[in-house]
Chains A and B, each alone.
Chain A
Amino acid sequence: MDRKKSTILVVEDESNLNEAYQVILANSGFDILTSFDGQEALDILADNPVDLILLDLRMPVMDGIEFLKEYSPDPKKRAKIIVFSNYDMQKEIEEAYSLGADKYILKSWASPKELIKVVNDVLESQS
């Protein structure tokens, strides 16, 4: 897979952060799709192939956990998922992993460089 052409779907309701992720990831050469809640993300996914989803948990309309429950594509076309949240409760972390998240990252932990590193690591990992 050509790394430069990987498509990442950002799902984040906080517009400042949404924009920051777009800038950081676009700057690193990824194609970016963006949405502000789980439902919007599902709509985009219906028409667009995506390699990785950067998923917030707490969002209006449809939150991240609901999204993970609803998201059920053909396993071969399934995008990698990084849950990028400010929740660090054990319960949410475990639930996200059990619903198919590939990585759970605390937002406040990752600087822009660290974010890119995690994204690359997950994309390169064999699921």
Chain B
Amino acid sequence: MKFLRDSVLFPPAIVFVAIMIVVFSSFLVSLDDRRREQEIVAADYTEIIENSVRQRVEVFEEALRSEVGFVTVNDAFSKEDWRLSIEASQVLDRFPGIQGIGYVDVVTPSQREAYEQEAKRTVDSDFSIYPKGERDVYAAVRYLEPQSERSNAAIGFDMFSEETRRAAMSAARDNNDVFITSPVDLIQESGDDRQLGLLLYAPSYKNSAKIDTIEQRRDSIDGYVYIVLRTRDFLSNLLSDKELDSIGFNFYAIDKKNENHILYESSKYQEHVGKQKVKSDRLMSIKGAQFGITAAYDPSTVLPESFTARSSTILFFGTLLALLITGVTYLLLRGKANELALSQERTINDAKDSLLSIASHQLRTPATGVKQYLGMVLQGFVGDVSTQQKSMLEKAYESNERQLKTINDVLFLARLESGRIVLSKNNIDVKAMIHSIVEEQKDNAAAAGHTVKVQLPEKKVEVTMDEHMMRMTFENLLSNAIKYTKNGGKVSIAVKQTAKDVRIVVKDNGVGIAVVDEDKLFKQFSRIKNALSKSVSGTGIGLYLAKHIVDLHGGEIELESEQGKGSVFTVILPR
């Protein structure tokens, strides 16, 4: 039964562990989810940046193409024509990233001399194609708006002379498309605020030339329209100030040698990267150029609080739920186990009852037969018996009586111990009860030559008790006092009432009890050795039963005794 009750802990423990495994996995998954979502957020930013860049480049392409259109329809156009055209397009005002928009003429070595002369007249008196030297072909900057001292420095520069520019220009020419260079040092830049620049080229072919094949395009290339981008300016304002507070990004170009060149770094980029929080990289390819974007941010500043708290919420409520379910499981199981234990206890007790009932019947019936037949002979139902016969029959009858009493005591005890006897308590007049017990045992006491003294208070003494059981107790104590006192002794029984309790004191001047035996005295079936134990019959049940009954009444039995002098048993019952 105990095992069953303990084992009730086992299933809830399993339930708890199982739920916690689920909760903890969910917690880990949610952490992972969170990480992923954070990365998605970072990736979203890089995508936003890429899209913005593409949009801006598209606009530049439009601007370039419209200028190409202008160049194509006008066989010859002056510096002023170019200025007006640019001004009309408002491209410089709309995008602060554009540092300039210019036109490049393609010049062959044979044309160079004449071209320079013509440009000196129409463009600038100092015009010359530089750097100096003989090359296969020249691509000289002819116009560059807006005009300034700085931009004027670029006029005459042979862009084909520089590898990076030439690569983008060649690609633009061959593909009839806009191409962007790798980062370059701008010719017009000087001083501390030097920035890397990007150039966007759009090819312009000879009017009405066929440009279906690369060869045709190469043959008919006439010039280029190009945009100069100051990358820092071009890349600023892609995100709002507020966004730039919570997220940092940089934008870099990857050159043909696969080297990275940082073009832009948002103000708090280093701070965000330093936090080592969430980082996302994106590569983009646009108009022949390769770029990369790295976004870094602290998720707590970007993601809503509830999102950040989700994992710990799962852990907290998951654990709470696990505890709750475990608790409920435990309570349900314990209820069931108790029910089962009770029903098993009931079954066992019922079986015990039934066994006791049958045993009592089977043990008593034969002894009863002996009693009736001996009784009939003894009591003269079948004629007179001689004195000697009568004496023997009386001994047989007494032996049988003792057997019956033993059977009754043992059965009563068994039932008492199995807890199947319920006290049937009433208010009992203790004086009357003691008086009647003394009356019953008067003859026995007289036979032993004892004087029996009874001391009862004048007032009525009532105690709530099971009359039958307490009577057995007092009968036992008194008959013991009579039995264990040598003939001609003194036995007394007194009832005393105090404010708290009622005391029944049974006293004799008999054999007494040794101190060492006092512990054994109230134990089941223990008979102690004394001067009379061999000649006195007993089952060893009496005092054990008496103590048990007094215990059931919430009282106690006290013993004072001295070997050879006598014993005093005091039953103390609460009022």
- Give the B-binding residues of A (Cβ under 8 A): 14, 16-17, 20-21, 23-24, 27, 58, 86-90, 92, 107-108, 111-113, 115
For the complex of A and B, list the 5 residue pairs with the smallest distance between their C-beta atoms, beginning with the closest: A20-B372, A86-B364, A112-B375, A111-B375, A107-B368
Q: Report the Cα distance A108→B369, complex, angstroms.
A: 9
Q: What are 28 A-B contacts with C-beta separation under 8 Å?
A: A17-B365, A17-B368, A17-B369, A17-B372, A20-B369, A20-B373, A20-B376, A23-B376, A23-B381, A23-B382, A24-B372, A24-B376, A86-B360, A86-B365, A86-B368, A87-B361, A89-B353, A90-B421, A107-B364, A107-B365, A108-B364, A108-B407, A108-B408, A111-B372, A111-B379, A112-B379, A113-B375, A113-B379
How far, in Å, is B426 (CB) from chain A's closest CB?
Answer: 15
Q: Report the Cα distance A107→B400, complex, angstroms.
A: 13
Q: Say yes or no: is B357 at the interface (Cβ < 8 Å to chain A).
A: yes
Q: Report the Cα distance A77→B421, complex, angstroms.
A: 38
A89 touches B357 (CB 8 A): yes
Residues of A with C-beta under 8 A to B361: 58, 86-87
Q: Report the Cα distance A36→B116, complex, angstroms.
A: 154
Q: Report the Cα distance A14→B367, complex, angstroms.
A: 12
How far, in Å, is A14 (CB) from chain B's closest CB?
Answer: 6
B360 touches A88 (CB 8 A): yes
Q: Say yes or no: is B218 at the interface (Cβ < 8 Å to chain A).
A: no
Q: Say yes or no: is B404 at the interface (Cβ < 8 Å to chain A).
A: yes
Known: A108-B368, A108-B371, A111-B372. 13 other contacts (CB 8 A): A17-B365, A20-B369, A24-B376, A27-B381, A86-B361, A87-B357, A88-B408, A89-B353, A107-B368, A108-B367, A112-B375, A112-B381, A115-B372
How far, in Å, is A108 (CB) from chain B's closest CB?
Answer: 5
Q: Report the Cα distance A119→B490, complex, angstroms.
A: 40
Do A87 and B381 form a contact, CB below 8 Å, given A17-B368, A17-B369, A108-B371? Answer: no
Residues of B with C-beta under 8 A to A88: 360, 408, 411
Residues of B with C-beta under 8 A to A86: 360-361, 364-365, 368
Q: Report the Cα distance A87→B363, complex, angstroms.
A: 11
By beta carbon, the residue of chain B nearest A86 is B364
How far, in Å, is B257 (CB) from chain A's closest CB?
Answer: 108
Assign chain B's interface to a size class: 20 to 34
- Give the A-binding residues of B (Cβ under 8 A): 353, 356-357, 360-361, 364-365, 367-369, 371-373, 375-376, 379, 381-382, 404, 407-408, 411, 421
B376 touches A87 (CB 8 A): no
Residues of A with C-beta under 8 A to B357: 87, 89, 92
How far, in Å, is A114 (CB) from chain B's closest CB?
Answer: 9
Do A87 and B369 form a contact, CB below 8 Å, given A24-B381, A111-B375? Answer: no
Q: Report the Cα distance A112→B372, complex, angstroms.
A: 6
How far, in Å, is A28 (CB) from chain B's closest CB?
Answer: 9
How far, in Å, is A84 (CB) from chain B's closest CB?
Answer: 10
How far, in Å, is B47 (CB) from chain A's closest CB?
Answer: 88
Residues of B with C-beta under 8 A to A16: 369, 373
A112 touches B376 (CB 8 A): yes
How far, in Å, is A49 (CB) from chain B's closest CB?
Answer: 27
How far, in Å, is A64 (CB) from chain B's closest CB?
Answer: 12
Residues of B with C-beta under 8 A to A113: 375, 379
Of the candidates B360, B368, B375, the one having the most CB atoms from chain A within 10 angstroms of its own CB is B368
By beta carbon, the residue of chain B nearest A14 is B365
Residues of A with C-beta under 8 A to B375: 111-113
Other-chain residue from B353, B379, B382, B404 in contact with A108 (beta carbon distance below 8 A) = B404
How far, in Å, is B292 (CB) from chain A's closest CB?
Answer: 96
Residues of B with C-beta under 8 A to A89: 353, 356-357
Q: Report the Cα distance A88→B416, complex, angstroms.
A: 13
Residues of A with C-beta under 8 A to B368: 17, 86, 107-108
How far, in Å, is A60 (CB) from chain B's closest CB?
Answer: 13
Other-chain residue from B360, B373, B379, B382 in contact with A87 (beta carbon distance below 8 A) = B360
Residues of B with C-beta under 8 A to A24: 372, 376, 381
Residues of A with C-beta under 8 A to B381: 23-24, 27, 112
Q: Report the Cα distance A14→B404, complex, angstroms.
A: 18
Of the candidates B365, B373, B376, the one having the most CB atoms from chain A within 10 angstroms of its own CB is B365
Of the candidates B360, B367, B408, B411, the one having the most CB atoms from chain A within 10 angstroms of its own CB is B360
Q: Report the Cα distance A17→B360, complex, angstroms.
A: 16
How far, in Å, is B362 (CB) from chain A's closest CB?
Answer: 8
Residues of A with C-beta under 8 A to B382: 23
Residues of A with C-beta under 8 A to B379: 111-113
By beta carbon, the residue of chain A nearest B422 is A90
Q: Report the Cα distance A74→B575, complex, angstroms.
A: 50
Q: Report the Cα distance A90→B356, complex, angstroms.
A: 13
B371 touches A111 (CB 8 A): yes
